[in-house]
Amino acid sequence: MVSNVDKRKSKILNIVAYGIVFFIVVPLLVLSFWSFAGRWPWPGLFPVGFTMRGMEELFSKSANMFSVVTSSVLLSLTVAVLATVIGTMTARALVFYDFKGKELVSFGTILPIIIPGTAFAMGVHVVFIYLGLADTFIGVVLVHLIYALPYTVNIMMDVTAMTGDNLEIQGQVLGIPPFRSFYHITLPLIMPGVISSVSMAYIISFSQYFITLMIGGGKVKTLSVVMVPFIQSGDRTIASSYALLFVLSTFVVFILLELVIKRFTARLNGI
């Protein structure tokens, strides 16, 4: 039964919705356009010509873009997978068990969202120098994990609570060992959560600038760290080219991730 309320669309609310979509989409279009803009003197609405200068900068040997993008994607994928595994483990502990300190743990999971990033980054920098983790790939993965976990725990808790553990326990009753029964029964059911958790953690890691710079010390080069000086410099053509590469590489990774996860799920279900 669809009530007549649905059909009565408010004009003002329509303007709000489409207006905001307009403000979201236009900058992205302009960004793609500006990556190829040549000289663009005031007050022209369009550039005088087009140029491949931005693309040449990206693919020049000195920029070493291929290795930066690869290592950057690899780093964020590592974070995404680990954050999702840890998120799933934490979610299972918080949803299926009652234990001492449960409230404290679930409060602790949101702390990294609330506590200012600069306070943690500057404080942990010295700790990492002592531990030999400063300027290393592992060090950067660890701090990115801390920022991704509040979101992945939240996502995995929702889907874990919805799925429950009845089927898994039935599997165990029938004699399947606990991990196998999780792997073959629960995992396919929580896959939608796994996809959003992996994507969320990936984008959080891929976007980090300040903390990557602090802990990576400029030695761990991510696309964010390489891009920001160009945004600062005011060369909008080159900055736009980097930003375009950032956005496009994110989309490509997301499409591939979904494909891989779907295949994996199909294989799980097939067995």
Site string for other proteins, 126-155 (x = CB under 8 A): xx--------------x--xx--x---x--
**Separation CA 270–CA 221 (nearest Å):** 40
Q: Candidates 79, 140, 220, 227: give the one binding other proteins (CB under 8 A).
A: 227
Measured from the CB of residue 173, what is the shortest distance to other proteins in angstroms?
A: 17
233 binds other proteins (CB under 8 A): no
For 76, phi and psi rounded to 5 degrees?
Answer: -70, -35
Shortest Å, Cβ 56 to other proteins: 19
State the binding string over 55-94 for other proteins (x if CB under 8 A, else -): -------------------------------x--xx-xx-
Cα 193 from Cα 91, distance rounded (Å): 11
Q: Which is nearer to other proteins, 187 or 231 (CB)?
A: 231
Applying CB under 8 A, among 63, 169, 231, 261 the residue interacting with other proteins is 231
Which residue from 80, 38, 62, 42 is spatially nearest to 198, judged by alpha carbons? Answer: 80
Residue keyed to tokens 């200068």: 53
CA angle 179, 184, 186 (to 5 degrees): 85
Nearer to other proteins, 30 or 161 (CB): 30
Secondary structure, 3-state, 29-45: HHHHHHCCECCCCCCCC
Task: Count the alpha carbons within 13 Å of 96 in the hemisphere toward its beta carbon.
Answer: 15
Residues with Cβ within 8 Å of 152's Cβ and at least 6 positions away in sequence, in order, are 83, 84, 86, 87, 197, 200, 201
Site for other proteins in 91-130 (CB under 8 A): 92-93, 96-97, 99, 105, 108-109, 111-124, 126-127
Q: How far is the CB of 40 from other proteins (least distance, A)?
A: 9
How many residues bind to other proteins according to rule CB under 8 A? 75
159 contributes a contact to other proteins by CB under 8 A: no
Of residues 67 and 123, the one with the C-beta less far from other proteins: 123
Q: Of 205, 211, 216, nearest to 246 (Cα)?
A: 205
19 Cα distance to chain centroid: 27
174: contact with other proteins by CB under 8 A = no
φ, ψ at 6 (rounded to 5°): -60, -35
Within residues 238-267, the interface with other proteins by CB under 8 A covers: 239-240, 243, 246-247, 250
SS3 50: strand
Taking contact as CB under 8 A, which single stretch among the options 62-70, 180-188, 223-231, 256-264 is the one that binds other proteins? 223-231
Return the residues of window 28-47 that contact other proteins according to CB under 8 A: 28, 30-31, 34, 42-45
